[in-house]
Structure formats: structure tokens, C-alpha cells
A and B are shown apart, each in its own frame.
Chain A
Amino acid sequence: DTGVSQDPRHKITKRGQNVTFRCDPISEHNRLYWYRQTLGQGPEFLTYFQNEAQLEKSRLLSDRFSAERPKGSFSTLEIQRTEQGDSAMYLCASSQTGGSGEQYFGPGTRLTVT
């Protein structure tokens, strides 16, 4: 399967703990996006990478959130000192430069903070 993969698919953590999620984009895609989706809402943009450079970050993203994409391949999203409000589905998407900009989404990581 050459689609976007995310790991883990589910994560349950206690409030105050740190969590890290991984996204493996489609191999030839140089653009990578992270979104957060809560129940009944559409995905909310978090951040964007072009290769290894983080070019866009939502103003809504607190400093407890950090994302990296070393070497322009896989990406990680870390949440420090998790809060119950962080419970959501975290989606990763990738796309190629140019063309339609069609984004291919992964299955998401569902985070539950207890």
C-alpha cells in the first residue's frame, strides 16, 4: 500500500503526559499537512511542511504542539502536557507541488486524553 500511513491509530493518555504521532506520506510527495478534527467538525489546519521546512503554522496551535519533518520524509507531531481538550482525530495529508494540489489523507490517529 503506497498511501499515507499514520501511527499509532489510537492513543489513550493521561492528562499531563506527552504524546508523539508519526506520519509517513506518499514517497514522492514533498508537501505535508497536519489537521485536527473533533466530533462533528471539519478538519482544522494545524501546520504545513514543504520538504523539511515548516512554512505555515496555525495561530490556534499552542506552544505545547510541535511538528518536525526531518529530511523531508516522515513527520512527527508532538503534544506536550496534554489536556482533555486535545482529544481529537489528528490527520496527516500529503501532496505534490503543482498540479491540483490534491491532498491524500491518512487514516488519522485518534487521541483520547483522560
Chain B
Amino acid sequence: DAKTTQPNSMESNEEEPVHLPCNHSTISGTDYIHWYRQLPSQGPEYVIHGLTSNVNNRMASLAIAEDRKSSTLILHRATLRDAAVYYCILRESGTYKYIFGTGTRLKVLA
């Protein structure tokens, strides 16, 4: 089964960059790496996704290791509104099943 491993929690100071790591050693060659975040009392929200190359969008950047067995979500300047649980997700190969782990709870300090 596809599986991701993330630290349970991280802290960051406001206005500083945050690097959220994820290990996905079982990833297959054609699977995208997805990141979602979940704010308190809300459903998850899409952040970014990538396959092989590093990706940037208005919310974050995604750095993918050359062997694709790990990736890092980068928030360039953390704000208090970025406090959430961040999930690194894979789709199980050959299925439509997306596997969420337990995620990383990000705390942003003012």
C-alpha cells in the first residue's frame, strides 16, 4: 500500500520559512505527490502537487527528491493563518484511492 511518513508536529515563527518533510519510499513511477492542509473544523484544502520537478504556486513550493522517495513542502513566509495540519498524500497505484497519513500539525508563533 502507498504510505507516507511525516513528523507529527512542527513549529515556526511568523514571517519565517517553513519546510515540511514527507517520506514516501513506496511511491511508484507515475504517482503524483499531493499536499493538502486542514484548518480546524474544516475539510482539507488543496495546496500543491508534483510528479518529478519542483513546483511553485501562490501558496507554496514543492521540492521533490531526485529519487522521488521524499518531498518537502515549503511555505516561504509563514503566517498565523497557515497554522493547520498538512498532509502529504499518494494515490495507491492502479486505484482511485488516496492515502492520507496522520499529517504534520504546524504551529505558527506570533
Contacts and interface: CB of A to CB of B under 8 A. Distances in A.
Nearest to A48: B96
A105 B34 CA distance: 14
Contacts of B34: 101
Interface of A: 4, 31, 33, 35, 40-45, 48, 50, 55-56, 58, 91, 93, 100-108
15 contacts: A31-B96, A35-B100, A40-B102, A42-B100, A43-B44, A44-B100, A45-B98, A48-B96, A56-B96, A93-B44, A103-B44, A103-B98, A105-B44, A106-B43, A107-B43
Given A42-B87, A42-B102, A102 B46 contact: yes
B30 interface: no
A58 B38 CA distance: 22
A33 B100 contact: no
Interface in B69-105: 85, 87, 91, 95-103
Interface centre among B87, B95, B98, B103 (most CB of A within 10 A): B98
Given A91-B43, A107-B42, A100 B96 contact: no
Given A42-B87, A103-B46, A105-B44, A48 B102 contact: no
Interface of B: 32, 34, 36, 42-46, 49, 85, 87, 91, 95-103
Contacts of B43: 4, 91, 93, 105-108
Contacts of B87: 42
Contacts of A108: 43
A46 to B, nearest CB: 10
A31 B32 CA distance: 17
Nearest to B91: A101
Given A40-B102, A107-B42, A108-B43, A101 B97 contact: no
